[in-house]
Structure 1
Amino acid sequence: MKISVIGTGNLGSEIAFILAQKGLGDIVLLDINKELAEGHQMDIEHASSGISYGGTVTSASSSEEIAESDLVIVTAGVPRQPGMSREDLLAGNAAILKSICVDIKKNAPDSIVLVTTNPSDLMLMLALQETGFPSKRVLGLGNLLDSYRLRSLISTETGKNLNEVEAIILGQHGDRMLPVLSSCKVSGKPLSDILDADKIGEIFERTKSVASELISKKGATVFGPAVATVELAESIVKDLKKELPVITLLNGEYGLSEVCMGVTGILGKSGLESISELDLSDSEKKTLQETSDFLKNKFSEI
């Protein structure tokens, strides 16, 4: 299995290291800064004995090196700075992603593409447009990470171990994310049986802002998105067929079409094998419709 990581900054390098830790395949590190990619290659190679990694790590600045990749993970782009929204990155990262998509289409036409670049919902719509790949092979990170964060906040509030907490977020990877109340459970019990509506509302709102808080403290989100990206990648590479939150193109699901946003689905060796529709309340369905309208309008600005 050949996995190429495009962009080897904080997130890309962390993703590459976790891929190596899990032994998911041979890794190509592609970056316009070849010395940076080489440095990360050396660092992973030096750690390989300690993590029992038997694959190869290659650094490159030429997109030809991603040829015959089975999976391409795109992290390249301008990261969020304190005070910025994900949408503030739209124009700059769209230009970067367009160029990358040309390279992927030329050099790795049969690959599955996983996009982490923000704003990820809109970048995924752009990646689909620019590559022309089937939607099941072009996926985005977003609501899995948001679901991690929601689970963490619920765990903290209830004092329960994370392993006892379930929670799913759909919709936009941003302020319009939709925490699905019926999916939130602690030790198998509905969250609404444990916390009152006001407290649940506070947790849901904090989930929307917690990434900005993190960025203001350490400058970037790294470990969470890296682990989430590799969880998606591992289900694909190992054909685990795990049901996970992932950003994809909708084609009638939830009554929505021609828009990319976070849903849940089965991930296997062919990419997204199916989408699972959750039972939503009328207000939750309305939120998804409003999010769809917002994303389509923003995409028209590219």
Structure 2
Amino acid sequence: MSTPEHPLPVHASPSAVDPALDPAWIRRAVEIALEEDLGPAPGRDVTTQATVPASDTGTADLVAREAGTVAGLVVVDETLRQTATRLGLPAPAVTFHAQDGDAVVPGQVLARLAGAVQVLLVAERTLLNLASRASGVATATAEFARELAGTGALVLDTRKTTPGLRALDKYAVRAGGGTNKRMGLYDVAMVKDNHVVAAGSVRGAVEAVRRTFPDVLVQVEADTTDQAMEALDAGADFLLLDNMPTPVLAETVTAVRAREGRDGVPEHVELEATGNLTVDRAREVASTGVDYLSVGALTHSAPILDLALDLR
């Protein structure tokens, strides 16, 4: 905790992450989360509103209980504002002492909240649910980013996100030093085995996408070196190399690089390794020469980072 001799830093903004999380998305997400907790607007907290006078004011610290990388501080102001509106009380003031993307240690004060105690307590769980979730994703991503430093490879997320929270999950990946892949089914085509079956061949699937959606990039999934070569012949823009043992992955990367710039193949084909990737294997996989490691576990399996809201 802070002491007078060691004043806390103050940040004008809770985030320096680029691109920032869309404020309209934050409003919608907070509204849904508060309705889950309080019921239809204005809703109620039967415990807090019975035991805490609406006139009581106080201060609370948002604190990290464990080490990690923080994310989701951008939801704090909106959560307090909407809660205050529901209760008919002024929104508490917030002073941020950390930013999304910061490495934090146990006991570190991330933000100080001052205002109506009812608002602080009613908002507490929604605020912590969102920020703890995002911080867990950022922490998991940062572990991969540190392991990949200097290799030239980047860690990517996937579509394996919490329904309704994809924007927050992918924002948290950025806060942790990772890179977003496609945001959904609408912005990049990914030809997988079922698409090949439906279209009759890899080439048929790629050509169908090009005819129908000529503005999108086309990625093709490959499980073997031969499949990767077939995808190049079909005109894929980049390849997803799925569940390949490291020696096979290295062989495939070498084979693809030898084709670059020839026979209509782009000068550089972006290669993405995926499937059963762990931090322990990250540098080994990166050493094969792939451009990316995509890790579904960043968003579907990351434990939360333990955060707390402590009244002072």
Q: Which has the higher contact order (CA 8 A, sep 6+)?
A: 2
> TM-score, normalization: structure 1?
0.29
More helix by share: 1
More strand by share: 1
